[in-house]
Chain A
Amino acid sequence: NAGVTQTPKFRILKIGQSMTLQCTQDMNHNYMYWYRQDPGMGLKLIYYSVGAGITDKGEVPNGYNVSRSTTEDFPLRLELAAPSQTSVYFCASNDRESGANVLTFGAGSRLTVL
């Protein structure tokens, strides 16, 4: 049982480049989330999804896009990378129907924009 898998683990981008952070979970969780973590700022929610085909903005969505075509996958797209998007990105999922509300996190993707 792999849990939540994120790729890549590290990436360096130039300003204006685009890329996609991949996130896959094998727990059949309906709910998936993207957070970014900046030093001293905790985790800020970027986007979340309550099921395939349904996504919604979180606290800091500007500069990002997401899609949810399957239950397993929830990729995060950066269209025009900016230095302000240098951060560590975490994907997470949970199974709200069970009442657990406990998040399972991926190992993170460290992105640097130069």
Chain B
Amino acid sequence: AQSVTQPDIHITVSEGASLELRCNYSYGATPYLFWYVQSPGQGLQLLLKYFSGDTLVQGIKGFEAEFKRSQSSFNLRKPSVHWSDAAEYFCAVVGGSYIPTFGRGTSLIVHP
């Protein structure tokens, strides 16, 4: 069975600072990996995805993520955070069952 761990429930950063949100997965092979973002009162929107190939993937809103097979990780990064990035971020994995499994989410708080 597949699983996803997001170890940080909350992350607080200052506007303009860099950001890294952690995601670790458990699966026997290389899964499909995703990051979604949820703004308050909204549904989830895809930020970026990894299927194969280049392990550094670019997404919307200036976000990127790096797949590291040796660490079973898919951490999300952004070099300079904007106040509008405050939201809930979810990492998700799709393995052999093709059913998406989500982490518990990380809430990003941005201080001015």
Contact = CB atoms under 8 A, between A and B. Distances in A.
Interface stretch (A14-22, A40-48, A64-72, A75-83): A40-48
Given A102-B46, A102-B49, A42 B104 contact: yes
Given A40-B104, A42-B103, A45-B100, 6 more contacts: A4-B43, A40-B9, A48-B99, A101-B100, A103-B36, A108-B42
Contact of B94 (A42, A48, A101): A101
Interface residues of B, number: 24
Interface core residue of A48, A90, A101, A106 (most chain B CB under 10 Å): A101
A73 B6 CA distance: 32
A43 B102 contact: yes
B44 A101 contact: no
B55 interface: no
Interface of A: 4, 31, 33, 35, 40-43, 45, 48, 58, 90, 92, 96, 99, 101-103, 105-108
Interface string B64-105: 000000000000000000000000001010100011111111
Contacts of B14: none
Interface string B2-30: 00001001000000000000000000000
Q: Would you list the 10 A-B pairs with minimal beta carbon distance, nearest first?
A: A105-B43, A42-B104, A43-B102, A105-B44, A42-B102, A107-B43, A101-B94, A42-B105, A101-B32, A102-B46
B34 A102 contact: yes
Contacts of A105: 36, 43-45
Given A33-B100, A41-B104, A48-B99, A103 B42 contact: no
Contact of B99 (A40, A58, A102): A58
B45 A96 contact: no
Given A42-B90, A43-B90, A103 B46 contact: yes
